C-alpha cells in the first residue's frame, strides 16, 4: 500500500506516484519516493559550498520542518542512480513550484495551491547546476526532481530483466534567503576550511597571497580565511551568506541585447517617473529634479545588464551616456556607448588623457566590488579603491599658471546603508564603520533617503539612499607617491 511522507509537501507527489506506478512505492527519505529496486539518491546543496556540506551533515532532528534553507542563488543538484540502471536513456525533470495567491503556501495548509514556474526535462548526468531567481529571496518554493530510467538488471524480477521504466520523485520545500548575521573568529574560519577541504595538500595558505589564485572558475562560496580579518575589519563586521555567480562567458558578454525599441520603452517609463527597476528609483527621480542632466555628458559605472540608469539619462536629454561594466553590454541606441572595464582603462590611460564627464552614476554596483561575484579579483578594499578611482576621474588637473579651472564632476552614489555587514558574496552594507571610509575625500552636496537611524536598524535591514558628491578639492595635483587621505564627508 502507498505510504506518504509525514511532511505534507509530499502529498501531491504521493498521488502522482500512485497514479503512474501503482501502489508499490517506497520512501528512501522524507523527500524521496521511488519504485521498488530504484532507490535514487538526490542531494541538493548550495553550489561549491564545502562549509555548508559540513555544517549540514547532521541528520534531521525530530520535529524539524524539513525545509531546505539555502543562502545561494545557485544550487548543485546531484542525482545518483542505483546499479543496474541504463543511464543512457535516463531522464531527469526538474520543476519549481511557487505557492499561488489562492493558497496558503506557508507550510501549514493541508491542501496548498501551487503554480509551476520552471519545468525542464534533461538527459541524465550526475550533477546539475540550477540557477534560481534571487528576486524571490525570502520566499519558499517547492523543488521537484523526477527521475525515469530503464532497468537492465540481470537475474532480477521479470520487469527488471525486461527493461521496465522505473520512476522516483524528490520533492522538498526550499527557503531561498540570506543567512542570519554572525561575527566570525577568523582563526576558527581557517580551521573550518581546512576540515572541509580535507585534501588540499596544505597549499591554500600559500595561494591566499597569490593574486592570480583569487580568481576562480566560479566565485568562492565562502570568504577565504586568509582575508577574513580584512573583509570583517578585524572582526567588527558580521557576515551573512547570500551567494551569486554573475560571471559570463569567455566573451564577457551578458548575452542579452537591448534593442532600440526596448530602450525607448524604458526611456518612456523614466519620463513617467516609474519605479521598480531599482530599489533607489524614487530617490533618483527626486535628485534629478534638483540636479538635471540636460546637455551633460554622463558616465555610468557598473551594470547588471538592464539599461535603466541609461534610460533615465536619455529621458533627461543628456548629451551622451557612456557605460563601463566588467562584462560586455549590447545597447542598440545612438546616444549610448559601452565599454568593458579593460577597454575603458585602455582608452583613459594616463592622467587627464580621457574624456571628461559632467556626471557619474555609481548606483548599487560598487558595494559588490572585490567579492568575486562578477569574476572580479578578491580584494577586501576594492570598494574603497573604486571610490579613489572615481575621485581621480572626477577631479580635473590644476592648470599651472591659469586661474580658470574646469568644472568638477558630480557623482551620484547609491550603496546599501544599514549596520555594517558583509553579505558574502552579494554586497556590503555600509554603516558607521565603513561608510565614512567610502566617502572620505568627498564633499557631500546632498542626500536623498539617508538618515543616521539606519545605522542602528537590525542587521537584516538596509535600504539604498542616494548621495550626491563632488571631490573635496576643486582640482588635483599631479599624482604623488602619497596615498594618505585627509578629508572626508560629514554624514
Q: What percent of the chain has pLDDT over 90?
A: 48
Comparing CA positions, the residue from 217, 95, 206, 83 lying closest to residue 145 is 95
Strand partners, 352: none
Give pLDDT tens digits for 177-203.
899 999 998 877 666 656 556 544 444
pLDDT bin (cut points 50, 70, 90) of residue 406 is low
- Phi, psi values for residue 91, rounded to 5°: -125, 145
- Which regions of the chain carry the CATH code 3.40.50.150? 253-471
Whole-angstrom distance, CA of residue 226 vs CA of residue 207? 9
Q: What is residue 464's predicted lDDT score, i.e. its pLDDT?
A: 92
Rounded to whole angstroms, how far apart are CA atoms 208 and 227?
8
Q: Please, are residues 420 and 431 in contact by the beta-carbon 8 Å criterion?
A: yes
Residue in this structure with the C-alpha cell 577574513, named with its chain if needed: 228
Q: Which of 419, 51, 439 is nearest to 237 (CA)?
A: 419
Do 265 and 308 form a contact (C-beta atoms < 8 A)? no
Q: Are the CB atoms for 81 and 87 separated by under 8 Å?
A: yes
Residue located via cell numbers 509530499: 10
Q: DSSP character for 477? A: P
Residue 53 above 80 pLDDT?
no
Tell me what percent of the chain is helix, strand and coil, each rounded to the nearest 5: 25, 30, 45
DSSP 368-408: GTTSSTTSPPP-TTHHHHHHHHHHHHHSPBP-TT----PPP
Alpha carbon 447 to chain centroid distance?
A: 26
Quick check: 468 and 291 in contact, CB under 8 A? yes
CA end-to-end span of the chain, whole Å?
Answer: 69
pLDDT > 70? residue 153:
no
Compute how many other C-beta atoms are within 10 angstroms of the C-beta atom of residue 286: 15
Q: Show the CA angle centred on residue 129, arms to residues 123 and 132, nearest 5°.
A: 120
pLDDT (mean) for 171-176: 91
Unique residue bearing C-alpha cell 530483466: 161
Tell me, what's the pLDDT at 362?
96
Architecture of domain 8-176 in this structure: Sandwich (2.60)
For residue 19, the model assigns a pLDDT of 44
Omega of the bond leading into 425 within 30 degrees of 0 (cis): yes
CA distance 377 to 463: 26
pLDDT at residue 165, rounded to an integer: 85
Closest C-alpha among 392, 488, 382 to residue 427: 382
Which pLDDT band holds residue 4 (cuts at 50, 70, 90)?
very low
Give the span between the Cα atoms of 383 and 324, in whole angstroms. 16
Q: What is the pLDDT of residues 308-366, one digit of tens each?
A: 999 999 999 999 999 998 888 999 999 999 998 889 988 876 545 556 899 999 998 89
Q: Regarding the domain delimited by 253-471, which CATH topology (the fold level of the hierarchy) does it fall under?
A: Rossmann fold (3.40.50)
Q: Pick the range with the lowest mean pLDDT from 120-129, 210-219, 316-325, 458-467.
A: 210-219
Arithmetic mean of pLDDT over the chain: 81
Beta strands, E only, 132-195: 139-151, 165-176
C-alpha R_g of the chain: 27
Asked whether residue 263 carries a pLDDT value surpassing 50, the answer given is yes
pLDDT class of 3 with cuts at 50, 70, 90? very low
Mean pLDDT of 140-169: 76
* pLDDT of res. 438: 97
Q: Which residues contact 200 (CB under 8 A, 6 or more apart)?
A: 194
List every span in the chain annotated with CATH 2.60.40: 8-176
Cβ-contact 35, 176 below 8 angstroms: no
pLDDT at position 472 is 85
Mean pLDDT of 71-77: 93
What per-residue confidence (pLDDT) applies to 287?
97
Cell numbers 531527469 correspond to 92
What are 89-139's pLDDT values in tens digits?
Answer: 899 999 999 887 654 445 554 556 788 888 999 999 999 999 887 776 667
State which of 119-128, 153-162, 472-481 shows the largest mean pLDDT: 119-128
Q: Which of 460, 466, 459, 464 is nearest to 137 (CA)?
A: 460
94: closest CA among 42, 34, 19? Answer: 42
Confidence of residue 294 (pLDDT cuts 50, 70, 90): very high
- Does residue 328 sit in helix, strand or coil? strand
DSSP conformational letter for 308 = H
The answer to whether residue 49 scores a pLDDT higher than 50 is yes
Residues 92-104 as b or e (16 or more Cβ within 10 Å = b): bebbbbbbeeeee
Strand partners, 297: 320
Give the lowest-confidence range in 127-141, 278-292, 306-320, 369-383: 127-141
Give the pLDDT confidence of 417-441 residue by residue, as tens digits: 999 999 999 999 999 999 999 999 9
Given a cut of 50, whether residue 1 has pLDDT beyond it is no
**CA 80 – CA 268 distance, rounded (Å):** 51
Amino acid at each position: 500500500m502507498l505510504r506518504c511522507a509525514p511532511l505534507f509537501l509530499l502529498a501531491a507527489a504521493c498521488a502522482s506516484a500512485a497514479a503512474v506506478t501503482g501502489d508499490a512505492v517506497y520512501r528512501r527519505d522524507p523527500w524521496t519516493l521511488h519504485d521498488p529496486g530504484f532507490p535514487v539518491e538526490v542531494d541538493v546543496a548550495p553550489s561549491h559550498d564545502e562549509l555548508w556540506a559540513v555544517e549540514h551533515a547532521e541528520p534531521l532532528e525530530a520535529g524539524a520542518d524539513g525545509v531546505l534553507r539555502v543562502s545561494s542563488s545557485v544550487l548543485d543538484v546531484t542525482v545518483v542512480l542505483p546499479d543496474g540502471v541504463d543511464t543512457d536513456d535516463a531522464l531527469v525533470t526538474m520543476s519549481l513550484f511557487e505557492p499561488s495567491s489562492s493558497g496558503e503556501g506557508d507550510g501549514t495548509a493541508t491542501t496548498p495551491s501551487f503554480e509551476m514556474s520552471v519545468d525542464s526535462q534533461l538527459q541524465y548526468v550526475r550533477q546539475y547546476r540550477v540557477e534560481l531567481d534571487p528576486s524571490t529571496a525570502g520566499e519558499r518554493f517547492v523543488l521537484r526532481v523526477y527521475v525515469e530510467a530503464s532497468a537492465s538488471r540481470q537475474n532480477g524480477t521479470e520487469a527488471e530483466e525486461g527493461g521496465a521504466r522505473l520512476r522516483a520523485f524528490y520533492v522538498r520545500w526550499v527557503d531561498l534567503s540570506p543567512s542570519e548575521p554572525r561575527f566570525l573568529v577568523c582563526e576558527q574560519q581557517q580551521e573550518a576550511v581546512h576540515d572541509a577541504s580535507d585534501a588540499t595538500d596544505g597549499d591554500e595558505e600559500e595561494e591566499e597571497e597569490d593574486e592570480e589564485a583569487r580568481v576562480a572558475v566560479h566565485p568562492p562560496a565562502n570568504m577565504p580565511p586568509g582575508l577574513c580579518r580584512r573583509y570583517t575589519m578585524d572582526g567588527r563586521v558580521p557576515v551573512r551568506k547570500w551567494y551569486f555567480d554573475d560571471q559570463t562567458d569567455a566573451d564577457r558578454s551578458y548575452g542579452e541585447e537591448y534593442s532600440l525599441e526596448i530602450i525607448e520603452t524604458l526611456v518612456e517609463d523614466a519620463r513617467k517617473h516609474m519605479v521598480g527597476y531599482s530599489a533607489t528609483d524614487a530617490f533618483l527621480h527626486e535628485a534629478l529634479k534638483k540636479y538635471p542632466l540636460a546637455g551633460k555628458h554622463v558616465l555610468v559605472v557598473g551594470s547588471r545588464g538592464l539599461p535603466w540608469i541609461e534610460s533615465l539619462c536619455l529621458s533627461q536629454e543628456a548629451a551622451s551616456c557612456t557605460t563601463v561594466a566588467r562584462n560586455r553590454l549590447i545597447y542598440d541606441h545612438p546616444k549610448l556607448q559601452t565599454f568593458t572595464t579593460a577597454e575603458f582603462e585602455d582608452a583613459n590611460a594616463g592622467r587627464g588623457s580621457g574624456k571628461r564627464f559632467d556626471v557619474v552614476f555609481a548606483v548599487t554596483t560598487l558595494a559588490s566590488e572585490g567579492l568575486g561575484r562578477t569574476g572580479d579579483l578578491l580584494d577586501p578594499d576594492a570598494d574603497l579603491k573604486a571610490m579613489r578611482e572615481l575621485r581621480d576621474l572626477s577631479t580635473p588637473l590644476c592648470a599651472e599658471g591659469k586661474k580658470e579651472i574646469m568644472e568638477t564632476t558630480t557623482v551620484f552614489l547609491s550603496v546599501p546603508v544599514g549596520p555594517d555587514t558583509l553579505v558574502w558574496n552579494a554586497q556590503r552594507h555600509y554603516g558607521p564603520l565603513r561608510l565614512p571610509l567610502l566617502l572620505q575625500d568627498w564633499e557631500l552636496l546632498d542626500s536623498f533617503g539617508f538618515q543616521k537611524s539606519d545605522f542602528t536598524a537590525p542587521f537584516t535591514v538596509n535600504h539604498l539612499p542616494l548621495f550626491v558628491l563632488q571631490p573635496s578639492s576643486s582640482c588635483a595635483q599631479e599624482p604623488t607617491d602619497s596615498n594618505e587621505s585627509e578629508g572626508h564627508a560629514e554624514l
